[in-house]
Amino acid sequence: MKNSNEQIESQIKEYMEQIEIPDTLDECVKKSIEIGKLKNKRVINMTRWMRNMTTSVAVLGLAFVGTANLSPTFAKSMSEIPVLSGLVKVVTFGQYDYADENYEANIKAPLIDGMKNEALQAHLNQKYLQENKKLYEAFKTEIAGMKELGKEGHLGTEAGFEIKTDNGEVLSIARYVENTAASASTQVYYDTIDKKNEVLITLPSLFKDGQYVEVISEYIKNEMKKEMKEDENKVYWVEDSEEGVEGFKQIGNEQSFYINENGKLVIAFEEYEVAPGYMGNVEFEIPTEVIQESLVSNAYIK
């Protein structure tokens, strides 16, 4: 007799075989994301358009499950998801665990639930699960390689997420990956969602034009110099740095960012991007008055 996890896995596989992914999926996702570039106009009626796709889009919230490895652990985490209300929420989903004497992995994916824009919701959930599946498969491949070569050592991978902001307007999710071998490293990725209009917010969509790149970059460079002057333990690679390393000149057009609980724009950098590794993942909160003239509106940034 099959145990409960095997039954869940069997039911999901059977259901997935019956699903026809609509040809409009790619276009649907593109539209939902492109709307996030419409200069943050507060009135965007996505609901009516999405309701016209009730049959085809309804399956998308579950269709992303088929992209992940339906192991007993994965099935178990899915079976433990609580019944959610109509509000946009985030829960843990698709957990991968591995542990023995020298190797350990704990990988969790966020699941967004409750959005009326089901195409965008499915797109994000699928992305999160695919990322973590690849991470877990890479972890197992590296272990197999080490064992085959007879190498000894410790290897650890931890992936999870943190809700940076969750208020009536904005949901900002940080997804992190921590790898431990000879040394440790951390990567962080962000998504920020307009909860009312249910669109993905991009950095360019917050501003009238590309001038924000120069404005924000100049502020950050001045802050770097100020912090180094005030604290000798802080080191940044600024463009006129004496460290012999090519310094930070400006942010990218779509630099990593999130909007914090106070409605402030936070620009984020990866390890080694603008500073030595011991400085970790560096963030700079941008005062609103610095970017006020460049903003499209104060709908998100206060």
Residue ranges and CATH numbers for the domains of the chain are: 4-202 (3.30.565.40), 206-294 (3.90.640.20)
User: Is the separation of the CB atoms in 89 and 105 below 8 Å?
Assistant: no
Residue 271 has what pLDDT?
93
Q: 131, 295, 126, 120: which is closest to 216 by C-alpha?
A: 295
Q: How confident is the model at residue 43 (pLDDT cuts 50, 70, 90)?
A: very low
Looking only at the bridges linking them, the beta strands covering 257-259 and 282-286 are unpaired
Residue 151 has what pLDDT?
80
Residue 26 has what pLDDT?
45
Q: How confident is the model at residue 58 (pLDDT cuts 50, 70, 90)?
A: very low
Q: Is 145 or 37 the better-scoring residue by pLDDT?
A: 145
Residue 241 has what pLDDT?
56
pLDDT tens per residue across span 74-118: 434 443 443 333 467 888 877 889 988 889 999 999 999 899 999
139: exposed, middle or buried (C-beta count within 10 Å: 0-12, 13-18, 19+)?
buried
Mean per-residue pLDDT of the chain:
77
Looking only at the bridges linking them, the beta strands covering 89-99 and 103-113 are antiparallel
How many degrees, rounded to 5, is the angle at CA 128 between CA 145 and CA 31? 135
Q: How confident is the model at residue 66 (pLDDT cuts 50, 70, 90)?
A: very low
Q: Is 125 or 72 the better-scoring residue by pLDDT?
A: 125
At residue 288, does pLDDT exceed 80?
A: yes
Residue 100 has what pLDDT?
86
Q: What is the DSSP string of 4-67?
A: HHHHHHHHHHHHHHH----TTHHHHHHHHHHGGGSTT-S----HHHHHTTHHHHHTHHHHGGGG
Q: Kindly tell me the sign of the dihedral angle through the C-alpha atoms of 234, 238, 242, 243.
A: positive
Q: How confident is the model at residue 35 (pLDDT cuts 50, 70, 90)?
A: very low
pLDDT tens per residue across span 2-32: 443 444 444 434 433 443 434 444 444 444 4
Neighbour tally for 300: CB within 10 Å: 20
- Spatial distance between the Cα atoms of 245 and 235, rounded to a whole number of angstroms: 12
At residue 143, does pLDDT exceed 70?
A: yes
Q: Kindly tell me the sign of the dihedral angle through the C-alpha atoms of 261, 41, 220, 289.
A: negative
At residue 269, does pLDDT exceed 80?
A: yes
- Spatial distance between the Cα atoms of 291 and 284, rounded to a whole number of angstroms: 13
| Averaged pLDDT, 259-280 | 95
Q: Is 203 or 26 the better-scoring residue by pLDDT?
A: 203
**pTM assigned to the model:** 0.72
